[in-house]
Amino acid sequence: MLSERRLEVLRAIVQDYVGTEEPVGSKALTERHRLGVSPATVRNDMAVLEEEGYIAQPHTSAGRIPTDKGYRLFVDRLAGVKPLSTPERRAIQNFLDGAVDLDDVVGRTVRLLAQLTRQVAIVQYPSLTRSTVRHVELLSLAPARLMLVLITDTGRVEQRLVDCPAPFGEAALADLRARLNSRVVGRRFTDVPTLVQDLPESFEPDDRGTVSTVLSTLLETLAEEAEERLMIAGTANLTRSGHDFPLTIRPVLEALEEQVVLLKLLGEANESGMAVRIGHENAYEGLNSTSVVSVGYGSGGETVAKLGVVGPTRMDYPGTMGAVRAVARYVGQILAES
């Protein structure tokens, strides 16, 4: 077990390194922080911290930098979440309040988050699986061709073309539309499959094929939407990284283009709280020298999607976590209002 002072030394190292981006030595530490002990003592502590794997030296005769394990300890036990200042909160609220539709909300959120944290921000569109159906519309485009439009309570609209196995009359169409809506409007997406299961049976034999096709398209749409959309902003912030440039930035840009990777990344966020993945804790190896801070957001206590930022492991964790949490709360509020 590490003594209180050693933890204090680790905290000081992390803070200084995050600020200066340079390895920090024992002397500099005692000067910048009121540790109440001499450099020599700090050196001893550092030796212990290094032995335990919390810090490392890039080269002999250089200062120390925190390891992933060091950051982990820092985040878990040494640092709180730094709340935003009141003006900052005000600015968030004002900025998000101007949004006109869902795309705009997500767009503003992601830009805001990128600007606040000066890192790459990722916002997932509100998930359909947690949402409810507001309306299902069926349009006849041609005798054997329908369009299915799904409207969700989060304001999202999805449409699909349906090719019918047989022509489908207007009367049957109206019938199907009415029955479908009476069953699924207001219901959870996850509940829909069982709710419509027996629907084909109540139609004329000739029409059952079409009804089944429509239903399976509907279910497909819901399922497919597990493949969620994302919005990204602030990639230019990657260039802040400093000197170790090209090697770091490349794989990150590549990862950012892989929706699947990003969804997994956000997916690791703990349902309830904030998730911080540091360096090698990230499954995707291109992100081994970055950290991801993510959290779920939603209206009314329910998580409908996630958002987060990607930045260098050497990041201001308390500040970043504060910004991420605050933005998640406000966007949740906005969604609840609309």
Partner DNA sequence: CTCTGGCACTCGTACGACCCGAGTGCCAAA
Partner DNA sequence: TTTGGCACTCGGGTCGTACGAGTGCCAGAG
DSSP sequence for 36-73: SS-HHHHHHHHHHHHHTTSEE-SSTTS-BEE-HHHHHH
Site for its own copies contains 151 (CB under 8 A): yes
* 253 binds, options its own copies, DNA, none, Cβ within 5 to 8 A by partner type: its own copies
- How many residues bind DNA, per CB under 7 A? 25
Distances from the Cα of 111 to the Cαs of 123, 278, 318, 327, 331, in angstroms? 9, 23, 20, 11, 13
Contact 219, 192 (CB under 8 A): yes
Site for its own copies contains 99 (CB under 8 A): no
Site for its own copies contains 98 (CB under 8 A): no
33-44: b or e for each residue (b if 16 or more CB lie within 10 Å)? bebebebeebbe
Beta-carbon count within 10 A of 258 CB: 13
Q: Which is nearer to its own copies, 95 or 329 (CB)?
A: 95
Site for DNA in 52-81 (CB under 7 A): 57, 59-64
> Which segment (34-42, 120-128, 161-169, 279-287) binds DNA by CB under 7 A?
34-42
Q: Which is nearer to its own copies, 27 or 229 (CB)?
A: 229
Site string for its own copies, 110-139 (x = CB under 8 A): ------------------------xx-x-x
Burial class (CB in 10 A: 0-12, 13-18, 19+), 111: middle
Site for its own copies contains 226 (CB under 8 A): no
CA 271 from centre of chain: 11
- Tell me how far, at minimum, the Cβ of 114 lies from its own copies, in Å: 9
- Tell me how far, at minimum, the Cβ of 317 lies from DNA, in Å: 22
Q: Which is nearer to its own copies, 188 or 250 (CB)?
A: 250
* 256 binds, options its own copies, DNA, none, Cβ within 5 to 8 A by partner type: its own copies
